[in-house]
Homo-oligomer: A and B are copies of this chain.
């Protein structure tokens, strides 16, 4: 007995005739006729009441149909499980403290293994570490290298913070700024900033923030509003807004280095991504 024969049985039951079932199955009706015959031989009894030019399921055939549906459902479940497993094995779960490093990482992974997919999550430094340790993620991006012996770290990228000042703003003429120049003012910021969010709160205790969680809307609002915003030198942030000017912030807190971290006992394909990143950033 073969699964294909069970599939054929189901189609025949639905189609009503061998003829139409054969068309649906993209085989000749003679092949289908013989295949049904083989199934009947295998099960030891006819599944159809036959007149000379028609067939109809008999009691045994209806029984076979029930079982066939059941077995084929199990087969489908098996295939679904495997598809999920395959996807999971192609997916790198990344816990990052900032969005830009995941963009950079995504580009590098694409070079290293075009079939792999990045599943990024912006979290706190502590959360990133613990996820890496408890296996909830495959790679972590942190603002400082790990000191644990079970974790390997390598530099991923530098990122510098800029104030994005609209035309006409009183700070628009400045060529550089400090956080103290900016404190107490109103800002429009994207909510999923992770690490940079911490910096904003720490360095600008008296500033007021309007947050936007949808990145597309945020970019739209940035064009139209005259609120101060932030940007960085990450390539994905380099958008040429004639109405705004990116002014570097000189405080050391406006400069960050992000590290890629992996567990030393991680799966092989994770290690190869890590090494590819290490070699690429050298």
A86 within 8 A of B: yes
- Bound: A2/B3 CA distance, A: 6
A71 within 8 A of B: yes
Contacts of A3 in B (CB 8 A): 1-3
A182 within 8 A of B: no
A85 within 8 A of B: yes
Pick from B1, B63, B82: contact of A43, CB under 8 Å: B82
- Bound: A59/B82 CA distance, A: 11
Contacts of A45 in B (CB 8 A): 82, 85-86, 89
**Given A2-B2, A45-B86, also A75-B81 (CB < 8 A):** no
A78 within 8 A of B: yes
A70 within 8 A of B: yes
A151 within 8 A of B: no
Report whether B77 and A74 are in contact in the complex, using a CB–CB cutoff of 8 Å: no
Report whether B85 and A74 are in contact in the complex, using a CB–CB cutoff of 8 Å: no
Report whether B63 and A67 are in contact in the complex, using a CB–CB cutoff of 8 Å: no
Q: Which residues of A contact B (CB under 8 A)?
A: 1-3, 43-45, 59-60, 63-64, 67-68, 70-71, 74-75, 77-79, 81-83, 85-86, 89
